[in-house]
Amino acid sequence: MFPFLWVSELMHHEMKLRFGLDLELSLHNTLSILTPDVIRVADSGSQRERLSSLRDTNTDDLQKSAAVLILPALFKEDAKFLYCLDEEPLCFQPSSSRVARRASIKMDGITIASGEMDALQCLLEVYYIFGVEYHMQIKDTLAFTEHYLFKIPSQKRVSTPVLRLYNEIG
């Protein structure tokens, strides 16, 4: 199989080596900038009730996690294809499983990585390194994550819903 999948740092290194991308740095920089705007857009729309507990929270990490977890709802996509709570993912494509404050990525039943934001980074790395096509039920969320959170250069055309949300966050 692929032994480096068991060590997330090796996948990060593979991305840097093969593609010259430091996704950890990109995610850290862009989440710091986009989180307040994602929360604002979600709070003004249909996700207001989900975010009510965050209004009085000044914890930066909690708000960053909330911004990432709320993205599928903003695209009206099924979040179970991206992450799930205390259960197995719905599809055989890479997805993350979130338990309490820790997350893990599973692919074909094998845990690839676990940690905080590390799971999101590893998830995109698995898709990118192996050229796996995004699942239709979560494609806009992953495209937004690829283009605007991780700043991965791509020749792919960005869909209208992804552009619309980015402009709204703007």
Is the pLDDT reported for residue 100 higher than 80? no
Which range (8-17, 46-55, 122-131, 159-168) has the least confidence?
Answer: 46-55
168 has pLDDT over 80: yes
What proportions of the chain, in percent to the nearest 5, are helix, strand and coil?
55, 10, 30
Percentage, residues of the chain above pLDDT 70: 68
More confident residue, 104 or 144: 144
b/e per residue 56-71 (b: at least 16 CB within 10 A):
eeeeeeebbbbbbbbb
Confidence band (pLDDT; 50, 70, 90) for 97?
Answer: very low
Where are the chain's structural domains? Answer: 3-169
Contact 148, 41 (CB under 8 A): no
Give the Å distances, CA to CA, from 124 to 24, 31, 119, 152. 11, 15, 9, 10
Residue 82, pLDDT score: 80
What confidence score (pLDDT) does residue 85 get? 64
Mean pLDDT along residues 144-158:
87
Give tens-digit pLDDT for 27-67. 888 988 998 888 888 888 666 665 555 555 567 777 887 88
User: For the chain, what is the mean pLDDT?
Assistant: 77
Report the alpha-carbon angle 1-111-123, nearest 5.
90
How, if at all, do strands 83-85 and 95-99 pair? parallel
Contact between 63 and 72 under an 8 Å Cβ cutoff? The reply is no
- Between 14 and 115, residue with greater pLDDT: 14
* pTM of the predicted protein model: 0.78
